[in-house]
Amino acid sequence: MVSKYVPPHQRNGTAGSAPEADRNASGRSERGKGGGGYPRDRDGSSFEGKGHDGKGGKSENSERYGEQKKSTVFQMQGAGGDWSQRFGNKRRETHTEEEVFGPAKTRSTSGIDFDKYDAIPVQVTGENCEDVKPIVRFSEAKLVDSLFDNLRRCGYDRPTPVQKYSIPIVLSGRDLMACAQTGSGKTCAFMVPCLESLLRSGPPKDWNGGSRARPKPMPCGLCLAPTRELAVQIQEESKKFAFDTGIRCCIINGGTDMREQRSELEGGCDVLVATPGRLTDMFERQYLSLGCVQFFILDEADRMLDMGFEPQVRQIVKQTDMGRWSTVRLQSMMFSATFAREVQVMARDFLNDYLFIKVGRVGSASELVTQKVVYADDGPQKVRALDKVIKDHCPKEGLCVVFVETKRGADALEIDLHQRNVSVAAIHGDRTQTEREEALAAFKSGSNPILVATDVAARGLDIPNVSLVVNFDMPKQLDDYVHRIGRTGRAGRKGTAVAFVNEKCSYLHDLYDILVEAKQETPLWFEEMVRSARRMGGGKGTGRRAERFGGSDIRSTEEAGKKEGVSSSVSLTKGPPRAELPVGRSPDAFGTSGLEDAW
């Protein structure tokens, strides 16, 4: 249903912040009530015993579950066979092709300039990286027919650069950290090889170890996403790739009824997409087991680790039964468009002997996005400026996302625009999940073509018709700027991003670098503002941009530093030359400690 505008003060505003909402929406009181679904007791106890101790180390479950069950489960894994035959009866696809993929005419790839994509430089680093043989066509990956057909149904004729590398890397069994520009097809890059491996190996046999009790949901693939909306999107994409394969993709995310999600899982869950809070919650209630997980994916991994989810991710990795019963090694993957150095350091705890791929200039903006800067003082005139920018840069059928810094700011701007008769919806962390979903639906359908959003919508959301992104308030960090503007110019399409800047922006110099790198025009007033910020000691290039963005595999840098056996690295495509130094810039701003290229 498309949302109807209701001013914030008339809303009941019951939702809390995201993690709170995650908990409240389902209510802990549900615990132990029974009411259908998987019986907690199979043999007098729950499937995993009395549950996970939450303290780290070996959990009580694993001790109790012990060798007896373990041996049964070990026999299950990788037994080959047909996923759709798992429960005796053939599991039929419950949705039609059109329901899953949308009308055929909307699936065309026209507009994607693959030749331009092919020129994007890619670098692979890590042990034996020279063994990586990228695919040029999907057919080279020898995907099972059903998966291959689904790519065709999606309208994917050729793999994007990140897909060319990640598909063979994951299929070869390696862990992976992948940095690729926004909108470059990372979802397919991690989900397709994961599904392919599962399809090749077949479902775990004898799912419930011969017991007559219904088994606890035990996904073989787990993907974590930082926001509920992104999780929904990943699950929707995954369902397309897994269409008619017998593999079932489910979602558990905050703000949604936990009972419904639980019964959904109990209908069979082979690949699970989850937000970290809801997953830990449901795991602690023993609604599912992660013991069979063979693939662990962190999408927008830097966001997840950087923005406070680290303890939850650690808990999921170290303190659950993840992968414990799998006969194959747990394979882990991390994907993002930006990877700060400190996040890479943290990430190493979750990866094993991983390959690192970077596509294009990591952490830089796609050249498909035309970036503009507009000078704007904070104050009422900013809304007038926004009005003008929308009129000038948003085509008739196009959609526009306006990013603001605070939830209150989002509410205020929504009211302001509404009073100017602009059809607008807003999305932020204090809105209920229903309101968030309605706002997105109204935006996607075009009935509210302007979406005012906080950073809750900055990452991962893939809405094809977004032709304009306005940074009404500049984000605090430059990587958020990159992700925000990546909501347009996706999958080869063009878009415009307008930034409202003034002297208060703390990274003017780095912003300037981004514009120059992406071959964008920089107005004279902006160059002067950058220079004067530099003179005043503010807004200057930190020289750490590459570090913040993880412009390179930190292992290579460390090894090079030690000057002993630098980890191997291959540049597989040649990149364009570096940007010229602009007049008035000191060389060190672009020096070795500054921007790093991806090649």
Ligand X SMILES: Nc1ncnc2c1ncn2[C@@H]1O[C@H](COP(=O)(O)OP(=O)(O)OP(=O)(O)O)[C@@H](O)[C@H]1O
End-to-end CA distance of the chain: 47
Smallest CA-to-CA distance from 356 within 366, 347, 365 is with 347
> 73 or 301, CB closer to ligand X?
301
Stretch that binds ligand X, among 185-193, 194-202, 341-349, 505-513 (CB under 6 A): 185-193
Question: Restricting to residues 513-552, which ones interact with ligand X according to CB under 6 A?
Answer: none
Give the shortest CB-239-to-ligand X separation in angstroms. 13
Least distance to ligand X, CB of residue 315, Å? 24
Q: Please report, for residues 8, 351, 541, the alpha-carbon distance to residue 430 in angstroms, rounded to integers and kept in the order given.
A: 10, 34, 34
Burial class (CB in 10 A: 0-12, 13-18, 19+), 586: exposed
Interface segment toward ligand X; rule CB under 6 A; list 60-68, 182-190, 216-224, 400-408: 182-190
Cα 556 from Cα 127, distance rounded (Å): 10
CB of 191 to ligand X, least distance (A): 9
Query: 107 or 214, CB closer to ligand X?
Result: 107
Check binding of 182 to ligand X (CB under 6 A): yes
Do 561 and 513 touch, CB atoms closer than 8 A?
A: no
Complex with ligand X: residue 112 or 129, whichever CB lies closer: 112
Q: Using CB under 6 A, which of 436, 444, 490, 548 touches ligand X?
A: 490
Q: Which is nearer to ligand X, 76 or 100 (CB)?
A: 100
Nearest to residue 179, comparing CAs of 302, 313, 306? Answer: 302
User: Please, what sign has the CA dihedral across residues 471, 476, 480, 482?
Assistant: positive
Q: Which one-letter amino acid corresponds to residue 581? A: L
Nearest to residue 83, comparing CAs of 96, 98, 93?
Answer: 93
> Please, which of residues 458-487 interact with ligand X by CB under 6 A?
460, 462, 486
Using the rule CB under 6 A, give the single segment among 85-93, 125-133, 180-188, 519-527 that binds ligand X.
180-188
| Binder of ligand X out of 279, 368, 390, 491 (CB under 6 A) | 491
Question: Binding to ligand X by residue 184, rule CB under 6 A?
Answer: yes
How far is it, in rounded angstroms, from Cα 595 to Cα 541?
10
Q: Name the minimum Å distance from CB 155 to ligand X.
A: 6
Cβ proximity to ligand X, 300 vs 435, nearer residue:
300
Q: Which is nearer to ligand X, 135 or 426 (CB)?
A: 135
Helix, strand, coil percent values for the chain (each to nearest 5): 40, 15, 50
Interface with ligand X by CB under 6 A: which range of 97-105, 178-186, 410-418, 566-574? 178-186
By beta-carbon proximity to ligand X, the closer residue of 123 and 187 is 187
Query: CA Rg, the chain, in Å?
Result: 24
**CB distance 359 to 162 below 8 Å:** yes
CB burial of residue 65 (10 Å; 0-12, 13-18, 19+): buried
Piece in contact with ligand X (CB under 6 A), picked from 177-185, 372-380, 442-450, 578-586? 177-185
Site for ligand X in 137-166 (CB under 6 A): 155-156, 158-160, 163
- C-beta of 363 vs 594, nearer to ligand X: 363
User: Which residue from 18, 100, 171, 188 is in contact with ligand X, where contact means CB under 6 A?
Assistant: 188
* CA distance to 128, 227, 387, per residue, from 564 (Å): 16, 41, 58
**Residues in contact with ligand X by the rule CB under 6 A:** 109, 112, 155-156, 158-160, 163, 180, 182-188, 337, 460, 462, 486, 490-491
